[in-house]
Amino acid sequence: MSPSLPSGLLGDLDPTSDRAVFRQIADQLRDAIGKGRFREGEKLPSEAELVDHYGVSRMTVRNSFSVLIGEGLVHAEHGKGVFVRPRPPVRRLASDRFARRHREEGKSAFLVEADAAGGHPQVDSLEVKEEKAGPDVSARLGSLRRVLARRRRYLLDGRPVEFATSYLPLDIARGTQIAEPNPGPGGIYARLEELGHHLDHFDEEIRARMPTPTEVKTLHLAAGVPVIHLIRTAFDAEGRAVEVCDTVMAADAYVLAYQLPAT
């Protein structure tokens, strides 16, 4: 016989509701997670416990879990159970992470975010090469035909959270440390400023969407987890676009926090 769940942990089904039973169970589990009754990384009640509590079939319970998995709220581990997914570990401060003071301290934007999150940052899947510019990148950089592309994946505490590709004009980047796997302290923005391209402002375009199969594999995404797709263009003081960065972030790994002026 399955052990009973603690009193008040979950409610009862409403037999008068026209909402499917498996969705009622999903609603109660979701509400319990939202109220902190099940914390990040904590295991949800087992199929047997929920079958006993609600008096339903295992298939009904599995359908309830499928709803929450599809929402990206929980994830299943084979042979272990269903667990609450961690909340976003990285707080991305849009108005601060590119501040010049961070570059002067030898920190790239991701290092700033990782420090704020208290996590250990890593970069892998690094590729640097010259290639033909796609139509969108070419237009943003002033109709260039070829660019230097820098691809890398960012991890926080071993978890992939972001994949980014920077595109830079060859007349700026070729033969410089920017074209090296390790661009040095402060990242490519510090090198651009050393080359005389004083950064003036950044334009960012953000949208949310479901990931491609490649993005699911690269970022180790669970079912139902969307991505944040961000395209950033960096401009120097002369108004020239000196970099386009195409970034895909796991939506369950980031909080995008924008600090806007009051006037």
Q: Which residue has the tokens 């079958």?
A: 51
Give the integer Cα–Cα distance in Å for 42 and 87.
12
Token readout for 204 is 């960012």
Helix axes 58-70, 47-54, angle to 10 degrees: 120
Q: What is the value of pTM for the model shown? A: 0.72
Give the integer Cα–Cα distance in Å for 247 and 249.
6
Q: Give me the tens of pLDDT residue by residue for the chain, a chain 263 residues long.
A: 456 787 778 989 999 999 999 999 999 999 898 888 999 889 999 999 999 999 999 999 999 999 998 877 888 988 899 999 876 666 665 556 666 776 666 666 677 676 666 778 889 989 999 999 999 999 999 999 999 999 999 998 888 999 999 999 999 999 999 999 999 988 999 999 999 999 999 998 989 899 998 999 999 988 778 899 999 999 999 999 999 999 999 988 877 766 655 54
